[in-house]
Amino acid sequence: MLQFLLRSAGLGLATAVLLLLAVPSLRSNIFPPSTSDDTEISSRDQISFNHAVRNAAPAVVNIYSRKYTENDRSKLLTQGLGSGVIVSEKGYIITNYHVVAQADQIVVALQDGRVAAAQLVGKDRRTDIAVLRIEVTNLPVIPTNPNYAPKVGDIVLAIGNPYNLGQTTTFGIISATGRSSISADGRQAFIQTDAAINEGNSGGALVNTRGELVGINTASFQQATELETYGISFAIPYQLANKIMQKIIADGRVIRGYIGIDGRDINSVTSRLLGNDHLGGIVVLGVDPNGPAADAGFEAQDIILKIDGEKVNGRQSVLDIVTELRPGSKVDILILRKGEEMTLSVTVAEDTN
C-alpha cells in the first residue's frame, strides 16, 4: 500500500514538472516576478498633490518692493518681499496690502523666469488687499471655482516665497472658517489653517487639492503679536479678495456704505420669543449721533429685520449688506421696536474709516 502511494505521488510531481516546462505562463502565476524592493508602494497607492501644484504654482509670483534710499533718490533698495497670485490674463495680481504699502517700486518675478515692473492699481488697508497689474503676455492664471466653499477639514496647500528661498509649497487642513475675532474691527472673516505661512508667503495662494484658489495667505496675525505661533495661520477668502479687487479696478479704491449703527446678534431666548419670522435680526446697541441712522430715527434696542427687502441673518450679514450699499442711495430698513414693526428710510453715507 505504501509503495502504491509513493508511486502515485511521484507520478503527480513528475506530471507537474512537465506541465511547468511545457506551459511557461503557469510559472508566472505560481512564482510571481520579484521586485527590487518588496516593500515598494505602487504609484497608484501613493498620495500626491503634484497635480494641484502644477495647476496653481505657475500663477504664484514673487513680489519685491523697492524703496528709494534717504540720501540718494536715484538708488532703489529692496526693502520687502512677498508673494502674489495672477488672477486674470489681463495681468491683474492680488497680494497683501502690507507687502507693498511702503513701496516706491514693485517688481514681480514669474516662475518661468520673466521679471516685470508692476503698477499699483489700488489697495485696501482694511482687508489687507492690494491689486497690481503687469504688462506681460501669455500669463498663467490660477484656477478658480465659484462653487467651492471651504469647509473645516479640507486639505489645502500654501504656495509662496518664504524668506526668498524660492517658491515653496506647504500643506495642512482648514481648521476654521469665519474667524473674525482676530481682525482689527471684528468685521473681516478669515480662513484658519495649519499650513505653514512664513514671512514672504504673504499674498501667496491657498489652494485646494484641485489647485483652485481658496484664499490669499496673510501673515498679519503673526506680525501683530509678540507670541510665537505654530500651526495657526490665516488666509483672506478668495470670494472677499475678488470682491475687493473688482471694486478697486472699477473705482481705484473700495467704496463702502455706512449708516452709523453698532449691533449684536440676538440671543437664543430673545429669538424664540420673537418667533421664526424674526430669526436672524440684530439688536442695535449704539447709534452714531452724526450718522445717517440717527437722522432716520434709529434708537438703541431697535431690532433690524430687513434691509432694502433683504432679510438679515446676524451681525455679519448686516455688515456685508451695508458695505455693498452705494453712498447717496436711499434704503428702507424694517425694524422691530417695542413689539411693533416699522420701516425707516436711510440715506447711505460713505464709510471713511
Question: Residue 142: CB partners within 8 Å, gap ≥ 6?
Answer: 55, 56, 59, 60, 85, 86, 87, 205, 207, 211, 212, 213
- CA–CA separation, 157 and 47 (whole Å): 14
Dihedral-angle region of residue 164 (phi above 0 means left; psi in -120 to 50 means alpha; beta otherwise): left
Question: DSSP string of 123-146?
Answer: EETTTTEEEEE---SS-------T
Phi/psi of residue 288, nearest 5 degrees: -65, 115
Torsion of CA 143, 146, 147, 153, to 10 degrees: 70
- CA–CA separation, 277 and 339 (whole Å): 13
| Residue 128: active-site member | yes
Which letter does DSSP use for residue 315 in this model?
Answer: H
Q: Which amino acid is at 61?
A: V
Question: Residue 265: CB partners within 8 Å, gap ≥ 6?
Answer: 282, 283, 314, 315
Q: Is 263 annotated for ligand binding?
A: yes
179, exposed or middle or buried, with CB in 10 Å at 0-12, 13-18, 19+? Answer: middle
282: nearest Cα among 259, 300, 255: 300
Which letter does DSSP use for residue 67 in this model?
Answer: E
Marked catalytic residue, from 98, 124, 220, 302 = 98
| Residue 202: active-site member | yes
Marked catalytic residue, from 65, 83, 202, 233 = 202
314: nearest Cα among 252, 247, 264: 264
Dihedral-angle region of residue 119 (phi above 0 means left; psi in -120 to 50 means alpha; beta otherwise): beta
Marked catalytic residue, from 65, 83, 128, 233 = 128
- CA–CA separation, 182 and 160 (whole Å): 23
Q: Is 259 annotated for ligand binding?
A: yes
State the binding site.
Answer: 259-264
State the binding site for substrate.
Answer: 259-264
Catalytic residues: 98, 128, 202
